[in-house]
A and B are shown apart, each in its own frame.
Chain A
């Protein structure tokens, strides 16, 4: 589903060229859940951006759903994203001028899906926010905002879901609830989930864990993961 070959990202700085990604080879299969962990600044989010086609690498290639997105221009990449990809962000990224319902409707409207309002309402219900559909992001708590974001991500029915620190801005309890929701829906929809986090507990709920360190990605052996069974994911 997702594949990279010799993926490199370098930026020019005053001290010379800084390599953020140093030739990463990666393959993620359909329906897999993968956590990318690592310390702050290790390049996790950069990698996520590359995998999702939000950014172009300095070298190497990225394949998404069987197509090489590094060979596409922004126009084509955007179309591919609309087709394949959903996102959940650390800072939610809800549009402040839209209500909760309208935020969920947005990807449906972008894809010109039928009856976007009904579908969006259904998804808000699924994340436990019925009755809050006319509220604006400012009127919602952090947890509620992230629920809206999750609803938005799944509403587009994309086969791949990227989540960048989805619980990073939330307290532990709320974070856990969001994680539960995320994995539950992921399981139900059989989406491929790529999750960036430095929360080992959250990472351990994924089938695979990859650690980012000094621009290199290494697979964390299953032995090191505390709770890696699919049963425990479904709490």
Chain B
């Protein structure tokens, strides 16, 4: 074995390398497991979200045309799985000429590409999942259509000119989200039967879609040109806004957490390396007296670091993989069973993080060891061979910026963290020095133990100011993550609280409304108010025809020429907020006013004061825009693009709409309701709510897991920082005990010193965290910012207790080791 390996082995055996190894291991493990876990969970969340489209993406043809065959061919050549879908409206006929306008969906055999269709042997019966389309000649019919058509499973229905055997009751489709309104009860058939119905002719309202599954992200750029303006690409994010926002926020959070994890691990490694190097100084001096040249010293230590780096980084990668795997096993019930395999990227990033950390944090202090003067063996007070704090900070900052940038790929995030870090370092250094002085000045009247502890604080004030800075940054990062996590999760839960409406009822006519309302109230069903609704088209904005305006503004956007659901109301709904203009008041009676939804207004460039012209029930209606509203579409309460200030056409031809919550055991009420009100359209959205809640659950889990890992990194920083001062404390305590101080006095002094350090760091960390939270919450996660009063109190207390405990526990040797043994080695 060569000298280098022997020294490495002996250092390891002597415990010299423990913190260094732990810090590097945590850096690599944190980054790798966060990366792997985030990658997997993101893949599987997107996969899960994909079930809302029954595919990873859809290509929708515009203007009632079919999807180009060339696109289908390209998708198949690209290795994607495909399925076809055709939707149209047609009259369905049942027994005794009962009929109902239905919404037909024809799907090819491969449907659904994602998720599952649920069917039952009787209406509202026990659902079983299938992953196939109905066979040709067979139709699966929504439960609520059975009473209105007077049919049972096994009977025959007619759609247009074709007859179908009713094969099952359709309980849910994976992709029934989206627009609930204007959708008649669903009949699912095979695409092979579309022509037979004769219902799809020139001019029919029909939509063609090509469903895609596989690496759609890579495929999209390939066909962008081919799609042209005839087709529209819809992926998971386009299809569902509430999931998109949850996913985006979760991704931002994971990114932030990962970046902070890297920073913390870097700080820990820098501290550990500095301590390791400073403890090597006398060794190096001795080795030099024994004839080891500076070049050999460098080779020796560099070789050791490289070897150590390879071993620890490899162990970190393995541990990171194991940790993410173990977590997935533990959380098995909460996650989908078939997780998508992670990519190699997290492993590369873990590897790179390890190497960069090693080079930037561990290498420099060890490299300058070669400068140690050999005469240090004669005069231990000689300096040299150590890296200045400034150089260390500079190198560390460059590495951290590089890593965060590599990790997040986000220049703004990197800049924000860098700026925040610099301000914190500067601010904290000054404030720490001031606070230490104040405490020393006024705290020393408190008795011997206090005086001792506070004197220690003052004596090492430069070193302590640095340590407070490290503690404060570590605590700040932990506060930020913990609080962000809480506000994220509570935001998600508020979005879809337990008991959120899971059924919509519309087409309720004026004469049915009271009875319907009474039925729900008698059965203790939680419901939203009843909203009047009338369908109409927007035909002109400020005198410009819609077709021209759409062509001019947004030829590829949504086609808002379709029929819209319009309502009127005196009051603004709870989940709406005015973003521009004003809600109407009593004095606004003279004119017909409207309030327009934000995105709708943006896409059509509608402004306050514009005049909108509608065609409603064959009549023209004009209204002036009074306000623009934001709408929480994911609240599951009825919401509208356009709200009028007064009844449209005096309420003629309007129907009502409401939503309500039915628990699982209240489900039989649906049959009663449908029998009593056969013309009312009911839509069950339990399935989509459950899906969303599942996704939110998974994202929450991911966030918790990653927070845990970052906490470990933070803990290692604290430990490394305390360990860095252990040698000085050992000597001081030995001297004190030699002078007759009891162990209790020394321990009490350490408690006070560390708790005071921790409390100061907690206070400064709270300031930094509050400032950073204001930015992250409002800018990155688009949440509302509220001050965290508890943080201001809890920060110092938590800092004092945690750092006090870590300090006292990790310096317990100070009391245990006999003073003579310490003084002898000095």
Chain A residues proximal to chain B, CB less than 8 Å? 45, 48-49, 52, 54-55, 74-76, 78-83, 85, 87, 89, 91, 93, 95-98, 102, 106-107, 109-112, 137-138, 142, 156, 164
20 A-B pairs, CB-CB below 8 angstroms? A54-B373, A54-B374, A55-B375, A74-B294, A78-B291, A80-B291, A81-B290, A81-B374, A85-B291, A89-B377, A91-B380, A93-B286, A95-B286, A97-B15, A98-B10, A102-B6, A102-B10, A111-B291, A137-B825, A142-B824
B291 with A83: CB separation less than 8 A: yes
- Shortest Cβ gap from A67 to chain B (Å): 14
- Tell me which residues across on chain A come within 8 A of B295, comparing CB atoms: 75
Q: A112-B3, A137-B825 are in contact. List 14 more A-B contacts (CB 8 A).
A: A49-B375, A54-B374, A55-B374, A74-B294, A76-B293, A81-B288, A81-B291, A81-B374, A82-B292, A83-B291, A85-B291, A89-B378, A97-B10, A164-B378
Q: Which chain B residue lies CB-closest to A165?
A: B378
- Tell me which residues across on chain A come within 8 A of B826, comparing CB atoms: 91
B375 with A54: CB separation less than 8 A: yes
Does any Cβ of A come within 8 Å of B821's Cβ? yes
Q: Which chain B residue lies CB-closest to A107?
A: B290
A110 with B292: CB separation less than 8 A: yes
Question: Knowing A45-B378, A49-B375 touch, does A97 contact B16 (C-beta < 8 A)?
Answer: yes
B291 with A97: CB separation less than 8 A: no
Does any Cβ of A come within 8 Å of B565's Cβ? no
B377 with A97: CB separation less than 8 A: no
- Tell me which residues across on chain A come within 8 A of B379, comparing CB atoms: 45
Nearest 10 pairs between A and B by C-beta? A82-B291, A97-B14, A78-B293, A54-B375, A55-B375, A54-B374, A49-B375, A107-B290, A75-B293, A81-B291
- Shortest Cβ gap from B294 to chain A (Å): 5
- Tell me which residues across on chain A come within 8 A of B821, comparing CB atoms: 138
- Tell me which residues across on chain A come within 8 A of B378, comparing CB atoms: 45, 48-49, 54, 89, 164
Q: In the docked arrangement, what's the CA distance between A138 and B490, Å?
A: 56
CB within 8 Å of A: which B272-306 residues: 282-283, 286-296
- Shortest Cβ gap from A55 to chain B (Å): 4
Q: Which chain A residue lies CB-closest to B291?
A: A82
- Tell me which residues across on chain A come within 8 A of B510, comparing CB atoms: none
B373 with A79: CB separation less than 8 A: no
Q: In the docked arrangement, what's the CA distance between A107 and B296, Å?
A: 14
- Tell me which residues across on chain B come within 8 A of A49, comparing CB atoms: 375, 378
Q: In the docked arrangement, what's the CA distance between A83 and B296, Å?
A: 15
Question: Knowing A54-B377, A97-B14 touch, does A85 contact B3 (C-beta < 8 A)?
Answer: no
- Shortest Cβ gap from A47 to chain B (Å): 10
- Tell me which residues across on chain A come within 8 A of B825, comparing CB atoms: 96, 137-138
Interface of B is mostly: helix
Does any Cβ of A come within 8 Å of B603's Cβ? no
Q: In the docked arrangement, what's the CA distance between A79 and B288, Å?
A: 9
Query: Which one, A45, A78, A109, contacts B288 given CB within 8 A?
Result: A78
Q: In the docked arrangement, what's the CA distance between A83 and B380, Å?
A: 24
Does any Cβ of A come within 8 Å of B337's Cβ? no
- Tell me which residues across on chain B come within 8 A of A93, comparing CB atoms: 282, 286, 377
Does any Cβ of A come within 8 Å of B13's Cβ? yes
- Tell me which residues across on chain A come within 8 A of B10, comparing CB atoms: 95, 97-98, 102
- Tell me which residues across on chain B come within 8 A of A137, comparing CB atoms: 825
Query: Which one, A79, A98, A164, contacts B291 given CB within 8 A?
Result: A79
Q: In the docked arrangement, what's the CA distance between A156 and B291, Å?
A: 10
Interface string of B436-455 (1 = CB under 8 A from A): 00000000000000000000
Query: Which one, A78, A111, A138, contacts B294 given CB within 8 A?
Result: A78
Which of B10, B283, B286 is most buried by chain A, counting CB atoms within 10 A of its CB? B286
Which of A52, A55, A97 is most buried by chain B, counting CB atoms within 10 A of its CB? A97
Q: In the docked arrangement, what's the CA distance between A117 and B310, Å?
A: 29
- Tell me which residues across on chain B come within 8 A of A112, comparing CB atoms: 3
- Total residue contacts A-B, CB cutoff 8 A: 89
Does any Cβ of A come within 8 Å of B65's Cβ? no
Does any Cβ of A come within 8 Å of B11's Cβ? yes
- Tell me which residues across on chain A come within 8 A of B375, comparing CB atoms: 49, 54-55
- Tell me which residues across on chain A come within 8 A of B291, comparing CB atoms: 78-83, 85, 107, 110-111, 156
Q: Which chain A residue lies CB-closest to B282?
A: A93
- Tell me which residues across on chain B come within 8 A of A97, comparing CB atoms: 10-11, 13-16
- Tell me which residues across on chain B come within 8 A of A78, comparing CB atoms: 288, 291-294, 296, 374
- Tell me which residues across on chain A come within 8 A of B373, comparing CB atoms: 54-55
Q: In the docked arrangement, what's the CA distance between A45 and B382, Å?
A: 13
Question: Knowing A45-B378, A49-B375, A87-B377 touch, does A54 contact B293 (C-beta < 8 A)?
Answer: no
A110 with B11: CB separation less than 8 A: no
Question: Knowing A89-B378, A93-B282, A97-B13 touch, does A156 contact B290 (C-beta < 8 A)?
Answer: yes
A96 with B292: CB separation less than 8 A: no
Question: Knowing A93-B286, A97-B14 touch, does A75 contact B377 (C-beta < 8 A)?
Answer: no
Q: In the docked arrangement, what's the CA distance between A59 and B283, Å?
A: 29
- Shortest Cβ gap from B247 to chain A (Å): 51
Q: In the docked arrangement, what's the CA distance between A95 and B374, Å?
A: 15
- Shortest Cβ gap from A56 to chain B (Å): 9
- Shortest Cβ gap from B46 to chain A (Å): 51
B287 with A110: CB separation less than 8 A: yes
Which of B13, B286, B378, B821 is most buried by chain A, counting CB atoms within 10 A of its CB? B378
- Tell me which residues across on chain A come within 8 A of B288, comparing CB atoms: 54, 74, 78, 81
A110 with B824: CB separation less than 8 A: no
- Shortest Cβ gap from A89 to chain B (Å): 6
Interface string of B1-44 (1 = CB under 8 A from A): 00100100011011110000000000000000000000000000
- Shortest Cβ gap from A207 to chain B (Å): 23
Q: In the docked arrangement, what's the CA distance between A78 and B296, Å?
A: 10
Question: Knowing A74-B294, A75-B295 touch, does A96 contact B14 (C-beta < 8 A)?
Answer: yes
Q: In the docked arrangement, what's the CA distance between A93 and B374, Å?
A: 12
- Shortest Cβ gap from B327 to chain A (Å): 37
Q: In the docked arrangement, what's the CA distance between A57 and B825, Å?
A: 29
- Tell me which residues across on chain A come within 8 A of B292, comparing CB atoms: 78, 82, 110
Question: Knowing A49-B378, A98-B10 touch, does A85 contact B287 (C-beta < 8 A)?
Answer: no
- Shortest Cβ gap from B22 to chain A (Å): 18
Q: Which chain A residue lies CB-closest to B300?
A: A110
Q: Which chain B residue lies CB-closest to A49?
A: B375
- Tell me which residues across on chain A come within 8 A of B289, comparing CB atoms: 52, 54, 81, 85, 87
Query: Which one, A75, A80, A83, A110, contacts B3 given CB within 8 A?
Result: A110
- Shortest Cβ gap from B384 to chain A (Å): 11
Q: Which chain A residue lies CB-closest to B371?
A: A74
- Tell me which residues across on chain B come within 8 A of A142, comparing CB atoms: 824
- Tell me which residues across on chain B come within 8 A of A82, comparing CB atoms: 290-292
CB within 8 Å of A: which B810-825 residues: 821, 824-825
- Tell me which residues across on chain A come within 8 A of B11, comparing CB atoms: 97
Q: In the docked arrangement, what's the CA distance between A49 and B379, Å?
A: 10
- Shortest Cβ gap from A159 to chain B (Å): 13
- Tell me which residues across on chain B come within 8 A of A55, comparing CB atoms: 373-375
- Tell me which residues across on chain A come within 8 A of B380, comparing CB atoms: 91
- Shortest Cβ gap from B299 to chain A (Å): 12
- Shortest Cβ gap from B726 to chain A (Å): 14
- Shortest Cβ gap from B371 to chain A (Å): 9
Q: In the docked arrangement, what's the CA distance between A97 and B374, Å?
A: 20
- Shortest Cβ gap from A155 to chain B (Å): 10
Q: In the docked arrangement, what's the CA distance between A59 and B524, Å?
A: 102
Q: In the docked arrangement, what's the CA distance between A138 and B819, Å?
A: 12
- Shortest Cβ gap from B469 to chain A (Å): 30
- Shortest Cβ gap from A154 to chain B (Å): 13
Q: Which chain B residue lies CB-closest to A103?
A: B286
Q: In the docked arrangement, what's the CA distance between A78 and B158, Å?
A: 101
- Tell me which residues across on chain B come within 8 A of A107, comparing CB atoms: 290-291
Q: In the docked arrangement, what's the CA distance between A89 and B376, Å?
A: 11
B3 with A109: CB separation less than 8 A: yes
- Tell me which residues across on chain B come within 8 A of A45, comparing CB atoms: 378-379
Q: Which chain A residue lies CB-closest to B15?
A: A97
Q: In the docked arrangement, what's the CA distance between A184 and B414, Å?
A: 68
Q: In the docked arrangement, what's the CA distance between A52 and B291, Å?
A: 11
- Tell me which residues across on chain A come within 8 A of B377, comparing CB atoms: 54, 87, 89, 93
